[in-house]
């Protein structure tokens, strides 16, 4: 995940983010630590004396990592809705609905959450900024936090450029996205299994140490 996509998700440019969020958060961390050291010097003694100094570090890490974390959360939200999203697009396309209207209809489905917002941006690029649907798809594909949605938009843009029938395209995409979703699900389950094994090993080690 890169910061270009992350700032797209939080709807801020880097300068605005620094002024409105990052700098105030870091200053708050230093101020809070200074208050502890100046007015409550006896509250932390010995090795614990470094705890207030960790507050600015935590604030800096939070300011640096928040955009990426927010983008990854939105990306997961999109991934979880993709198979429903493409199924609806395919169903709407069977009624000979114009391509731009297909985009408009799915963008109005609030159940898709951030995926609907991303689709609405494509619709607005076409209707307000007079971009072609192909260009609108490519524009959002470069900024969306979801790899699955990015790949879908790239394929859709290519299909539009080559003149492929939208119904045939969406029919094949349902299978593609389901395969990607299955791979993502299997990968997540594998990661959970690894974490579970690590947790069990840690517990067994603690039990072993506690027995002596």
- 182 and 83, same domain (yes or no): yes
- 11 and 42, same domain (yes or no): yes
Confirm whether 46 is domain-assigned. yes
- 126 and 180, same domain (yes or no): yes
Quote the domain boundaries for residue 35. Answer: 3-76
- 88 and 125, same domain (yes or no): yes
Confirm whether 203 is domain-assigned. no
Domain end point (choices 76, 98, 115): 76
- 119 and 83, same domain (yes or no): yes
- 64 and 112, same domain (yes or no): no
- 95 and 146, same domain (yes or no): yes
**Number of structural domains, the chain?**
2
Confirm whether 201 is domain-assigned. no
148's CB contacts (< 8 A; 6+ apart) are: 78, 79, 82, 177, 180, 181, 184
Give the residue from 129, 125, 184, 127 showing the smallest Cα distance to 153: 125
- 49 and 100, same domain (yes or no): no
The whole-number pLDDT of residue 119 equals 97
The whole-number pLDDT of residue 201 equals 84
The whole-number pLDDT of residue 212 equals 56
41 and 15 Cβ atoms separated by less than 8 Å: no
- 90 and 143, same domain (yes or no): yes
Domain end point (choices 41, 60, 76): 76
Confirm whether 160 is domain-assigned. yes
Collect the ranges in the chain with pLDDT lower than 70. 1, 209-212
- C-alpha span between 127 and 75 (Å, rounded): 25
96 and 157 Cβ atoms separated by less than 8 Å: no
- 104 and 86, same domain (yes or no): yes
- 82 and 183, same domain (yes or no): yes
The whole-number pLDDT of residue 211 equals 62
Confirm whether 116 is domain-assigned. yes
- 114 and 180, same domain (yes or no): yes
Confirm whether 194 is domain-assigned. no
The whole-number pLDDT of residue 44 equals 72
The whole-number pLDDT of residue 209 equals 67
């Amino acid at each position: 995940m890169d910061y270009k996509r992350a700032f797209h998700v939080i709807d801020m440019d880097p300068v605005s983010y620094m002024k409105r969020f990052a700098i105030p958060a870091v200053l708050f961390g230093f101020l809070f630590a200074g208050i502890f050291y100046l007015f409550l010097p006896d509250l932390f003694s010995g090795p614990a004396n470094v705890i207030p100094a960790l507050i600015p570090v935590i604030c800096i890490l939070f300011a640096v990592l928040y955009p990426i974390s927010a983008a990854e959360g939105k990306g997961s939200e999109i991934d979880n809705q993709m198979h429903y999203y493409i199924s609806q697009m395919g169903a709407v396309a069977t009624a000979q609905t114009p391509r731009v209207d297909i985009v408009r209809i799915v963008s109005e489905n609030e159940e898709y959450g951030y995926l609907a917002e991303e689709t609405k941006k494509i619709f607005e690029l076409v209707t307000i900024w007079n971009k072609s649907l192909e260009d609108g798809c490519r524009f959002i594909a470069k900024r969306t936090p979801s790899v699955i949605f990015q790949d879908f938009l790239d394929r859709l843009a290519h299909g539009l450029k080559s003149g492929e029938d939208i119904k045939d395209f969406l029919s094949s995409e349902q299978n593609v996205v389901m395969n990607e979703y299955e791979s993502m699900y299997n990968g997540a389950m594998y990661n959970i299994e690894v974490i579970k094994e690590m947790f069990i090993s840690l517990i067994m080690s603690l039990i072993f140490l506690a027995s002596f």
